[in-house]
């Protein structure tokens, strides 16, 4: 598994600036710029004279091979396009839902995701059912409640870009499978070290622990709802004063996590574990212990009982990952 894409020093602009506009035009590393320059210089001067037919046909294969290692998938399952917007624009025409069928989407979802479907459905006589996100309702459950036999596809971002709400993909997938509907998920891939760095950066914004605790509580609210049937002794993490339930599942070589707690603080702590480890391989989890809890100072401010509970959670998930990696 590739552990980092590049170094900060590969982007000279960052020595003097904080660059946030990745949605429009992201920075390109010096190495990539040089490779592009070399390629354009060679093709501009010589056309394809320096490239055989077989080399031209397999030109993208090294990129496909490295990309598949990065996201841990089969190279044959990786499509290479010029941008995310390009493939999002093609999706409706790849699936071609029949006339009169329904497409479920979130009204405030990313425009590059919703607009191609709006244009397609106007021509194909399909209905788009937009779900309005509400603070007092679970978004995943709202989507599920609107699924029926006429639903051709549910098209949604894993993380809602306007609110940060997480979609419970596992639960949504189970329901779309029952109705025979396609599930299309827009998701930004992050390496585990990027996720850990984001957690540390987010907590560094707060000057006092009262604000940090409130942020932790707010994070806990983002957890997908755990069905009450899982809140049993079998899934309870031992060693926690408050009840903490964790449900690990091993799917396609990766660990899928879900969980909850009856304590708002513990629920927030579990969210950090969920955010970091969900859908990661056992080996990745083993090689990336949750040391950031100490680095951001949480371990020293939790109190003895919660610290013990956090340690129990860390030991539990590491034990599960170790057991699965040895199979």
Q: Would you report the helix, strand and coil content of the chain in percent, each value rounded to 5?
A: 50, 15, 35
Q: Is the dihedral of CA 196, 197, 200, 201 positive or negative?
A: negative
For residue 232 the two structure tokens come to: 């049993």
What whole-number distance in Å separates Cα of residue 108 and Cα of residue 131? 8
What whole-number distance in Å separates Cα of residue 17 and Cα of residue 15? 6
What whole-number distance in Å separates Cα of residue 226 and Cα of residue 241? 19
What whole-number distance in Å separates Cα of residue 121 and Cα of residue 118? 5
What whole-number distance in Å separates Cα of residue 27 and Cα of residue 35? 15
**Which is the catalytic residue, given 121, 126, 155, 240?**
240
Other CB atoms within 10 A of residue 149 CB: 10
CB-based contact 161:249 (threshold 8 Å): no
CB-based contact 102:150 (threshold 8 Å): yes
Helices 264-277 and 209-220 pack at an angle, to 10 degrees, of: 70
Give the pairing of strands 151-157 and 182-186.
parallel
Task: Give catalytic status of residue 240 as yes or no.
Answer: yes
What whole-number distance in Å separates Cα of residue 116 and Cα of residue 109? 12
For residue 222 the two structure tokens come to: 């983002």
Residues labelled as active-site residues: 240
């Amino acid at each position: 598994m590739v552990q980092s894409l590049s170094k900060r020093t590969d982007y000279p602009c960052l020595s003097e600036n904080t660059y946030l506009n990745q949605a429009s035009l992201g920075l390109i590393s010096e190495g990539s710029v040089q490779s592009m320059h070399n390629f354009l210089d060679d093709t501009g001067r010589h056309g394809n004279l320096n490239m055989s037919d077989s080399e031209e046909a397999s030109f993208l294969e090294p990129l496909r091979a490295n990309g598949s290692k990065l996201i841990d998938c089969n190279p044959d399952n990786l499509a290479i396009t010029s941008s995310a917007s390009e493939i999002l624009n093609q999706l409706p025409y790849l699936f071609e839902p029949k006339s009169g069928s329904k497409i479920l989407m979130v009204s405030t979802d990313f425009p590059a995701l919703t607009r191609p479907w709006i244009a397609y459905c106007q021509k194909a006589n399909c209905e788009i059912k937009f779900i309005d996100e509400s603070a007092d309702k679970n978004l995943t459950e709202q989507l599920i409640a609107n699924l029926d036999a006429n639903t051709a596809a549910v098209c949604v971002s894993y993380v809602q870009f306007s609110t940060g709400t997480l979609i419970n993909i596992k639960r949504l997938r189970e329901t779309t499978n029952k109705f025979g509907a396609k599930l299309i998920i827009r998701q930004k891939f992050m390496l585990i070290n990027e996720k850990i760095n984001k957690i540390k950066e987010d907590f560094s914004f707060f000057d006092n622990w009262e604000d940090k605790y409130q942020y932790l509580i707010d994070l806990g609210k983002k957890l997908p709802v755990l069905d009450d049937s899982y809140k049993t002794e079998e899934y309870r993490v031992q060693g926690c004063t408050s009840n903490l339930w964790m449900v690990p599942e091993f799917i396609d070589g990766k660990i899928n996590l879900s969980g909850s707690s009856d304590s708002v603080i513990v629920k927030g702590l579990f969210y950090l574990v969920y955010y970091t480890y969900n859908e990661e391989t056992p080996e990745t989890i083993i090689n990336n212990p949750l040391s950031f809890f100490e680095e951001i100072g949480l371990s020293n401010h939790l109190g003895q009982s919660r610290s013990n509970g956090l340690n129990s959670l860390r030991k539990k998930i590491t034990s599960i990952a170790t057991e699965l990696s040895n199979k």
